[in-house]
Structure 1
Amino acid sequence: MLNIFRHLFRHWATILAVVALLLVQASCDLALPGYTSDIVDVGIQQGGVDSALPDTVCVGTLEALEALMRPEDAALAEQWYGAPDETGLRTLAPDAEAARAELEQAFTLPDVLLYQAAAALAADRQGVESALPEAQDLDAAVAAIGRTLGSKEQVSFTSGTFTTDDPGAAGLSSQASSQAIQLVRLEYEAQGVAGDVQMRYLLATGGGMLLIALLMAAAAISVGFLAARVSAAIGRDLRRQVFGKVIHFSNTETDRFSTASLITRTTNDIQQVQMTAVMLLRIVIYAPILGIGGIIRVSRTDTSLSWIIVLAVVLLMVLVFVLMQVALPKFKIMQKLVDRLNLVSREILTGIMPIRAFSREQFEEQRFDAANRDLMRTQLFTNRTMTFMMPAMTLIMNGVSLLIIWFGGHAMVDGGMQVGDLIAFITYTMQIVMSFLMLTAISIMLPRAGVAADRIEEVLRTEPVIEDPAPARQADGLDRKQWQGVVRFDHVDFRFPGADTNVLEDITFTAKPGQTTAIIGSTGCGKSTLLNLIPRFYDVSGGSITLDGVDLRAMPQETLRAQLGYVPQKGVLFSGTIASNLKFGGDAIPDAAMEQAAAIAQAAEFIAAKPDGYESPIAQGGTNVSGGQKQRLSIARAIAKNPRVYLFDDSFSALDYKTDAALRRALAEKTGDATVIIVAQRISTVLHADQILVLDEGRIVGRGRHAELLAHCPEYREIAKSQLSERDLAMAETSTKGGDV
Structure 2
Amino acid sequence: MLKLKHYFKKFWIPILFCIGLLFLQSQTELALPDYMSDIVSVGIQAGGFDSAVSDVLSEDTYNHLLVLMDNKDQETFEKSYKLVKANDVDEDILDKFSKADGQNLYLLKDINDKDMDKLEKILVKPMLLITSIDTMDPNSKEYQERFGDLPVGMSPYDVLAMLPKEQRAEMFTEIDNQMEAMGESTLKIAAGNGVKAEYTKLGRDVDQVQNDYILATGIKMLVIALAGTVCAIACGFLASKIGSGISRLLRGDVFKKVESFSNEEFNKFSTASLITRTTNDITQVQMVVIMFIRIVCFAPMMGIGALIKAFQNTPSMTWIIGLVLVIIFVLIGVTFAIVMPKFKVVQSLIDRLNLTMRENLSGMLVIRAFGN
Fold agreement, TM-score > 0.5: yes
Deviations 1:304-358 (A, max 9, x none): 2333324433433443344333333222222221111111111121121222244
Within 5 A, what are the aligned runs for 1:281-360? 281-359=293-371
Q: 1:183 aligns with which of 172, 177, 194?
A: 194
Q: Distance in 2 between matches of 1:184 and 1:48?
A: 10
Q: Distance in 2 between matches of 1:201 and 1:57?
A: 20
Q: CA deviation at 1:147?
A: 4.0
Q: Residue 111 and residue 258 in structure 1: after superposition, are their counterparts in 2 closer, same or farther (change >3 A)? A: same
Name the residue aligned to 2:50: 50
Q: CA deviation at 1:19?
A: 1.0
Secondary structure in 2 aligned to 1:274? helix
Residue type of the partner of 1:305? M
Q: Distance in 2 between matches of 1:145 and 1:66?
A: 22
Q: Distance in 1 between matches of 2:151 and 2:259?
A: 96
Secondary structure in 2 aligned to 1:205? helix
Q: Distance in 2 between matches of 1:75 and 1:328?
A: 64
Name the residue aligned to 2:22: 22
Q: Distance in 2 between matches of 1:350 and 1:102?
A: 83
Residue type of the partner of 1:341? L
Q: Distance in 2 between matches of 1:75 and 1:301?
A: 27
Deviations 1:279-316 (A, max 9, x none): 11111111111111111211222242333324433433
Name the residue aligned to 1:230: 242
Q: Residue 225 and residue 82 in structure 1: after superposition, are their counterparts in 2 closer, same or farther (change >3 A)? A: farther
The TM-score, its normalising length taken from structure 1, stands at 0.42
Name the residue aligned to 2:286: 274
Q: Residue 46 and residue 342 in structure 1: after superposition, are their counterparts in 2 closer, same or farther (change >3 A)? A: same
Q: 1:164 aligns with which of 157, 161, 165?
A: 161
Equivalent residues, number? 336
Which has more radius of gyration? 1
Deviations 1:600-648 (A, max 9, x none): xxxxxxxxxxxxxxxxxxxxxxxxxxxxxxxxxxxxxxxxxxxxxxxxx
Name the residue aligned to 2:229: 217
Q: CA deviation at 1:226?
A: 1.0
Name the residue aligned to 1:60: 60
More strand by proportion, 1 or 2?
Answer: 1
Aligned: 1:8 with 2:19: no
Aligned: 1:117 with 2:133: yes
Within 5 A, what are the aligned runs for 1:156-555? 162-166=159-163, 168=169, 170-171=171-172, 172=175, 173-174=178-179, 175=182, 178-190=189-201, 191-359=203-371
Q: CA deviation at 1:162?
A: 4.8
Residue type of the partner of 2:126? P
Residue type of the partner of 1:196? Q
Q: Distance in 1 between matches of 2:317 and 2:53?
A: 32
Contact preservation (8 Å) 1:69, 1:110: yes
Secondary structure in 2 aligned to 1:81? strand
Q: Distance in 1 between matches of 2:104 and 2:222?
A: 34
Residue type of the partner of 1:217? T
Q: CA deviation at 1:208?
A: 2.0
Name the residue aligned to 1:80: 81
Q: CA deviation at 1:68?
A: 4.0
Point out where structure 2 has 5 or more consecutive residues left out of the alignment: 95-100
Q: Distance in 2 between matches of 1:192 and 1:145?
A: 32
Q: Residue 326 and residue 178 in structure 1: after superposition, are their counterparts in 2 closer, same or farther (change >3 A)? A: closer
Deviations 1:156-179 (A, max 9, x none): 9xxxx9522345454223146554
Contact preservation (8 Å) 2:83, 2:105: yes
Contact preservation (8 Å) 1:52, 1:108: yes
CA RMSD of aligned residues (A): 3.1
Q: Distance in 1 between matches of 2:270 and 2:55?
A: 81
Secondary structure in 2 aligned to 1:57? strand
Q: Distance in 2 between matches of 1:196 and 1:89?
A: 24
Point out where structure 1 has 5 or more consecutive residues left out of the alignment: 131-140, 149-153, 361-741
Q: Distance in 1 between matches of 2:225 and 2:109?
A: 31
Contact preservation (8 Å) 2:307, 2:322: no
Q: CA deviation at 1:94?
A: 5.3
Q: What percent identity do the matched residue pairs reach? A: 38
Q: Residue 129 and residue 334 in structure 1: after superposition, are their counterparts in 2 closer, same or farther (change >3 A)? A: same
Q: Residue 146 and residue 274 in structure 1: after superposition, are their counterparts in 2 closer, same or farther (change >3 A)? A: farther
Q: Residue 177 and residue 229 in structure 1: after superposition, are their counterparts in 2 closer, same or farther (change >3 A)? A: closer
Within 5 A, what are the aligned runs for 1:692-707? none
Q: 2:111 aligns with which of 96, 99, 107?
A: 96
Residue type of the partner of 2:37? S
Q: Distance in 1 between matches of 2:152 and 2:271?
A: 98
Secondary structure in 1 aligned to 2:209? helix
Q: Distance in 1 between matches of 2:265 and 2:42?
A: 72
Q: Residue 280 and residue 321 in structure 1: after superposition, are their counterparts in 2 closer, same or farther (change >3 A)? A: closer
Q: Distance in 1 between matches of 2:121 and 2:333?
A: 52
Q: Distance in 2 between matches of 1:56 and 1:146?
A: 29
Q: Residue 97 and residue 349 in structure 1: after superposition, are their counterparts in 2 closer, same or farther (change >3 A)? A: same
More helix by proportion, 1 or 2?
Answer: 2
Q: Residue 78 and residue 146 in structure 1: after superposition, are their counterparts in 2 closer, same or farther (change >3 A)? A: farther
Contact preservation (8 Å) 1:113, 1:170: no
Q: Residue 289 and residue 306 in structure 1: after superposition, are their counterparts in 2 closer, same or farther (change >3 A)? A: same
Secondary structure in 2 aligned to 1:305? helix
Name the residue aligned to 1:736: none
Q: Distance in 1 between matches of 2:125 and 2:151?
A: 15
Q: CA deviation at 1:200?
A: 2.2
